[in-house]
Chain A
Amino acid sequence: MTGLLIIALVTLVPAAVAMALRNVIHSALLLILSWAGIAAFYFWAGAEFLAFSQVLVYVGAISMVVLFAVLLTRHTRTDGGVAPDTLGRALAGLLIGGAVLGVLFGAVLSTPLPIGSKPAAAVTVHGLGVELMERHTIALLVVGVLLTVALLGAVVLAASDSRSGPEDAR
């Protein structure tokens, strides 16, 4: 249990601190740390393949997207906290936050969690592959086509970029 506690802390505390920080870059890096926490959680749960995918996709690629976005907007130092204008807005904020929290707790409490110490069956990559290919073939193919089209689109954009883009040296 202590392992799960530590992983939970590593995931939640950076996310919370990230919200409070003034420097956007620091908060972006802390967000990436919490994603790494989620990957650690998958490790703890024994799903290695999922953990590595999480690290590869989130910590590797999406963190770059976040940081590039932060840099391109260029005002990294927000000066002064954002205080709510009127009392009404503050109340509305609290209300919606409380409602979301209530729904979450309701869902967690109502689902029948299997209590017992039976460890999950060790899933091999081969097993995962077979599972994906048999039951979810259609879904996998759709996602595959979508990603390939996105990739080819990127390549075409890059190819066509040279003709129109002023930046690219002749």
Chain B
Amino acid sequence: MSNSGLEFPAPVGGSHVAAVHDPFHGDLLEVSMGPHHPSTHGVFRMMVTLDGETIVKLKPVFGYLHRNHEKLGENTSYLASMPYTDRLDYLNSMTNNWAYALAVEKLAGQPVPERAEYLRVILAELTRLLNHVCLAGFLLQDTGASGTPLMYAFREREKILDLFESLSGSRMMCNYQRFGGCRVDASPEWLAGAKHITDNFGRFLDEYEELITGNEILMARTQGVGALSPELAISAGITGPMLRATGVDYDLRKVDAYGVYSRFNFRVPLGDHGDTYDRYMIRVLEMRESITILQQALRDLPAGPIMDPKAKIRGFRPKAGEAYGRIEGPKGEIGFYLISDGSPNPYRYRVRPPSFVNLTVLEDMCLGQTIADAVIILGSVDIVLGEVDR
């Protein structure tokens, strides 16, 4: 039963170029980049067909890190899935926890106290800083700068991870949010530490931009590479900085205004070429916006309980029903879709990962570019395999 005359929207890059054997150009070179490759950010493989240097066909292959996170979610209680969400996008465990907690609170109609909402915003923005700093470092590593920008990025990341460790107990596997609030209250010293880091993060960013943004070699390598059109981005469900780099104004913090984001005034940067350079610059500008949010949140963090008194940790049985909660993670929209049938285990537990959906257009961006560009384009998409494969 084929669809009634629906033509398949030809992607901008014309992904269906026939891999023709051209006598003069010689035969096409079929290369498998990955799963064990220095610049694929984890176990990810790209079956690339090369005509000399230019890419003719590129099929991403993943599933090497597939642990069936969703089946696990359906066989354990709601609380037991929380530590597993740290392992989804293992760079940003705080935002994963918040997305899951938000979905379950929506499912059970669970109120959250003021102080916990502010703490969640502070930790989410710190995670956004951490993720974007990591991306800038990895992108430069892919273009060949021998580790210097990556080391500067990791120096800043370590400061934020120390904050997470002194708050939640573990650097990356925080398991910090609960349904109806947070687990540990932030001590005054911790808040002072967070304020100190936020204040001179701007200084680091200026030095970093001085090293990178004006660099002609980087501009030559990334401008015009892997361009993505806004229409294709919207149709392919791209979210996060990659979407805003194409000029589409869609940031869940403004659209859904979940949590207490409506109380902070911050701006959403938009690019207009949608190429790799824009994606890098959008993330740098977003880091600056996150700093302003953090300063506002730290300034007017209210006192009060961090956990809703009526919230139950054990024996949590939400009424039957379903809910889809989503937040603006550093990589894009991360959402949890839960169907509950009243039992302590969720009936259906679904994670909507941003990296997995953002990879849909990888081939369209890489066609016609050289193999050295494909590495950078993949880097600019910013994928984490824990989240792609679940």
Chain A residues proximal to chain B, CB less than 8 Å: 167, 169-170
Q: Which residues of B contact A170 (CB under 8 A)?
A: 224, 368
Contact A169 B52 (CB under 8 A): no
Number of A-B contacts defined by CB within 8 Å: 11
- Tell me the bound Cα distance from A169 to B52 in angstroms: 11
Chain A residue nearest to B26 in the complex (CB): A74
- Tell me the bound Cα distance from A90 to B381 in angstroms: 69
Main secondary structure of the interface of A (DSSP, over half): loop
B296 interfacial contact with A, CB 8 Å = no
Residue tally, chain B, CB below 8 Å to A:
8
Q: Which residues of A contact B368 (CB under 8 A)?
A: 169-170
A99 → chain B closest CB, angstroms: 43
Known contacts A169-B368, A170-B368, then 6 further A-B pairs from the complex at CB < 8 Å, ordered by chain A residue: A167-B52, A167-B53, A167-B54, A169-B53, A169-B54, A169-B373
- Tell me the bound Cα distance from A142 to B162 in angstroms: 74
Q: Which residues of A contact B369 (CB under 8 A)?
A: 169
B26 → chain A closest CB, angstroms: 9
B77 interfacial contact with A, CB 8 Å = no
Enumerate B36-79 residues with CB–CB distance to A below 8 Å. 52-54
Enumerate B260-278 residues with CB–CB distance to A below 8 Å. none
B141 interfacial contact with A, CB 8 Å = no
- Tell me the bound Cα distance from A167 to B53 in angstroms: 8
Enumerate B362-390 residues with CB–CB distance to A below 8 Å. 368-370, 373
- Tell me the bound Cα distance from A170 to B370 in angstroms: 10
Q: Which residues of B contact A169 (CB under 8 A)?
A: 53-54, 368-370, 373
- Tell me the bound Cα distance from A169 to B369 in angstroms: 7
- Tell me the bound Cα distance from A167 to B52 in angstroms: 8
11 pairs, A vs B, C-beta closer than 8 Å: A167-B52, A167-B53, A167-B54, A169-B53, A169-B54, A169-B368, A169-B369, A169-B370, A169-B373, A170-B224, A170-B368
Q: Which residues of A contact B370 (CB under 8 A)?
A: 169
Q: Which residues of B contact A167 (CB under 8 A)?
A: 52-54
B375 → chain A closest CB, angstroms: 14
Chain A residue nearest to B224 in the complex (CB): A170
Q: Which residues of A contact B373 (CB under 8 A)?
A: 169
Q: Which residues of A contact B53 (CB under 8 A)?
A: 167, 169
Chain A residue nearest to B52 in the complex (CB): A167
B350 → chain A closest CB, angstroms: 41
- Tell me the bound Cα distance from A84 to B390 in angstroms: 71
Enumerate B336-377 residues with CB–CB distance to A below 8 Å. 368-370, 373
Chain B residue nearest to A167 in the complex (CB): B52
- Tell me the bound Cα distance from A115 to B52 in angstroms: 60
- Tell me the bound Cα distance from A170 to B223 in angstroms: 11
- For the complex of A and B, 10 pairs with smallest distance between CB atoms: A169-B370, A167-B52, A170-B224, A169-B369, A169-B54, A169-B53, A167-B53, A169-B373, A167-B54, A170-B368
- Tell me the bound Cα distance from A167 to B26 in angstroms: 13
- Tell me the bound Cα distance from A167 to B368 in angstroms: 10
Q: Which residues of A contact B52 (CB under 8 A)?
A: 167
Q: Which residues of A contact B54 (CB under 8 A)?
A: 167, 169
Q: Which residues of A contact B224 (CB under 8 A)?
A: 170
B12 → chain A closest CB, angstroms: 14
Chain B residue nearest to A170 in the complex (CB): B224
- Tell me the bound Cα distance from A169 to B366 in angstroms: 12
- Tell me the bound Cα distance from A169 to B54 in angstroms: 8
- Tell me the bound Cα distance from A82 to B18 in angstroms: 42
A125 → chain B closest CB, angstroms: 40
A162 → chain B closest CB, angstroms: 14
Chain B residue nearest to A169 in the complex (CB): B370
- Tell me the bound Cα distance from A18 to B313 in angstroms: 86
